[in-house]
């Protein structure tokens, strides 16, 4: 009686899969180990990207608003002084109608300054002052730079995201932490990669 028959007579079932090093050899021969090679590489690639979360982006936005407020306050003061000097040069005094017109000009200037600030800085390098301080950058597909048109669309998208704050809260639900303005402009916000000397 052979060993194989002895095993069956002892009531032991024959092994369905090879064991030990023999099993590894069979898997490699069949190419099954390649099934796990690609997902592992994709996982490593995905883990290398750190998306900008809502809290950090909120801090960066607060810094940007502060920068805009300080800059706009200085411009408003200079514009007010120039406006009063211009009225005096024409023998006119500051009245309610003049002040109303001046405030309308300031409102238009504030909107233009804010839009220009975000469009210019995001279009140039993907970073405003706030994002630079917080280590964030706005990128496009394949983590490349975004265009000025994307930056403008993204800025307009702030209005859509600002509806009851739902577009900004969507960052908490999105896997890649994107708001509605990001989807609209096809942009992402990522953490800046630190130099290797700082990573150690």
**pLDDT tens across 133-148, in order?**
999 999 998 889 999 9
User: What are the sequence ranges of the domains in the chain?
Assistant: 20-49, 54-199
SS3 letters across the chain: CCHHHHHHHCCCCCCCCCCHHHHHHHHHHHCCCHHHHHHHHHHHHHHCCCECCHHHHHHHHHHHHHHHHHHHHHHHHHHHHHHHHHHHHCCCCCCHHHHHHHHHHHHHHHHHHHHHHHHHHHHHHCCCHHHHHHCEEEECHHHCCCCHHHHHHHHHHHHHHCHHHHHHHHHHHCCCCCCHHHHHHCCEEEECCCCHHHHC
- Residue 191 binned pLDDT confidence (cut-offs 50, 70, 90): very high
- Residue 48 binned pLDDT confidence (cut-offs 50, 70, 90): confident
- Least confident stretch, 5-19, 61-75, 106-120: 5-19
- Residue 169 binned pLDDT confidence (cut-offs 50, 70, 90): very high
Does pLDDT of 122 surpass 80? yes
pTM higher than 0.75: no
How much is the average pLDDT of 151-163? 94
């Amino acid at each position: 009686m052979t060993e194989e028959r002895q095993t069956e007579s002892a009531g032991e079932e024959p092994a369905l899969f090879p064991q030990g090093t023999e099993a590894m050899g069979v898997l490699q021969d069949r190419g099954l180990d390649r099934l796990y090679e690609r997902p592992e590489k994709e996982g490593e690639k995905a883990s290398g990207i750190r998306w900008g979360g809502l809290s950090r982006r909120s801090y960066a936005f607060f810094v940007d608003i502060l920068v805009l407020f300080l800059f706009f306050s200085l411009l408003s003061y200079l514009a007010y002084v120039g406006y009063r000097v211009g009225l005096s040069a024409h023998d006119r005094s500051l009245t309610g109608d003049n002040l109303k017109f001046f405030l309308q000009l300031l409102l238009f200037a504030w909107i233009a300054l804010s839009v220009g600030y975000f469009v210019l800085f995001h279009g140039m390098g993907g970073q405003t002052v706030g994002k630079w301080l917080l280590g964030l950058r706005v990128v496009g597909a394949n983590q490349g730079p975004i265009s000025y048109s994307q930056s403008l669309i993204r800025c307009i998208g702030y209005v859509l995201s600002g509806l009851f704050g739902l577009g900004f809260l969507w960052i908490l639900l999105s896997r890649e932490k994107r708001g509605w303005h990001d989807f609209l402009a096809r942009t992402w916000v990522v953490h800046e990669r630190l130099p290797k000397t700082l990573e150690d």
